[in-house]
Structure 1
């Protein structure tokens, strides 16, 4: 009788402990899913849409956050990004003799979505698209007079890239994207932006 009671007590203890043990074991999530944050660095070029040779190059830097989920065999994601750039240009004698105009790229905001395809257990390719708002700052000087002004340009962005997992929560990526800005205060400015970048990120 004592042996039976001991066995019953042990069985009850195991039965009570099993749910708690199951809760302590993390469930492995699908790759390329969940919230993420990343740092990015790369090449930036802004040019006239009709004459790409007349452009300026610089360094792109910034960060992004996003969320991805696997749906029907593909990865769907949303993301937001803020970047800066070292692009700047200077022109003399533009409107009158002795004047000086400097234009510098400011912050660039992006919000969009992406569609990914997992091609191996640790590698995904993707396409992306969305809205971009870029700021350009102008500093005009003539004699002792100075005028500073910033303009925000609305545009669209499309791109493609490849992402590779380094571990369960870290990844690297390479990406190309093209942005176009068409109008400023009703004027057709036809401005193109080409960027090639690398990124490193973490998933939560």
Structure 2
């Protein structure tokens, strides 16, 4: 074999070896598979059904300016009756549920010691006024939204009937008054049966014209109420 042929052969073998080495040494990158996260919706708890419960509250912020009249003429004001005090109640209701919405009526009765008194001088005579809310019967409608499986916030709207002890110039002029109740609340489940509540309410029992000892006044009983409570669902 001539020197020229040997040189061509050597060159060919070298190129072939280089190509083979390059081909065998290249490893294309392997893309890692993308795994989509699995989203699991939390189940909505069951809030529907009947329940009974109890509440403990404190009423405050009542504001009744007591004006005294006689024979149709205003004699003057004797002060403000700003009722406040504790209350304890029982309740029972039923709720329906549509997805995260919960709604239903509730009947409650509260025994209270929400009261205040005032006095002033009218024509040289001291005139006293004393008001006490003895008890309240209320029918409320509550509409709530489940913000977490075990927590619901809700609004309150309803009717109330209050038994009110009122004294003017030493004479008892007690009466019953109808009014409205508005409020907000939150309820949290402790377990499948028991839940606790916190509520704010505003109760307004309108105006009532009262006569006693020759005087006339217009009572306007209203107050705010903060309550905590517990419910048992069955």
State the TM-score, normalized to the length of structure 1: 0.72
Which of structure 1's runs of 4+ aligned residues deviate more than 3 A?
A: 90-102, 139-142, 185-191
Q: Which of 32, 49, 53 is matched with 2:47 structurally?
A: 32
What corresponds to 2:178 in structure 1? 154
Aligned counterpart, 2:143: 115
- Alpha-carbon distance in 1 for matches of 2:168, 2:64: 24
Cα offset, 1:31, TM superposition:
2.1
Distance 1:54 1:109, change over 3 A: same
Q: Does 1:200 align with 2:223?
A: no
Over residues 127-166 of structure 1, what are the superposed CA-to-partner deviations in whole Å (9 max), with x where a residue is unaligned?
Answer: 0101111121124575xxxx43321111111111100001
Q: Is the 8 A contact 1:160 1:175 kept in 2?
A: yes
Q: Does 1:74 align with 2:87?
A: no
Query: What does residue range 56-75 of structure 1 map to in structure 2 within 5 Å?
Result: 56-75=83-102
Give the secondary-structure state (helix, strand or coil) at the position aligned to 2:46.
coil
**What is the CA-CA distance between 1:180 and the residue it aligns to?**
1.6
Are the counterparts in 2 of residues 181 and 189 from structure 1 also a CA contact under 8 Å?
no
Structure 2 gaps of 5+ residues are 1-43, 66-79, 211-216
Moved more, 111-120 or 189-198: 189-198
Q: Does the 8 Å CA contact 2:84/2:223 hold for their aligned counterparts?
A: no
Structure 1 contact 182–188 (Cα < 8 Å) conserved: no
Distance 1:160 1:199 in 2: 13
Is 1:168 the counterpart of 2:192? The answer is yes
**Structure of higher CA gyration radius:** 2
Equivalent residue number for residue 116 of structure 2: 89
Alignment root-mean-square deviation, CA: 3.0
* SS of corresponding position for 1:31: coil
Q: State how far apart, in whole Å, the 1-side matches of 2:139 and 2:186 are.
A: 19
8 A Cα contact 2:81 2:116, kept in partner? no
Given that residues 94 and 101 in structure 1 are in contact (C-alpha distance below 8 angstroms), is that contact kept between their aligned partners in structure 2?
no
Counterpart for residue 133 of structure 1: 161
Counterpart contact for 2:81–2:130, Cα < 8 Å: no
In structure 2, distance between residues paired with 1:189 and 1:104: 11
* Aligned length in residues: 171
User: What does residue range 32-51 of structure 1 map to in structure 2 within 5 Å?
Assistant: 32-45=47-60, 47-48=62-63
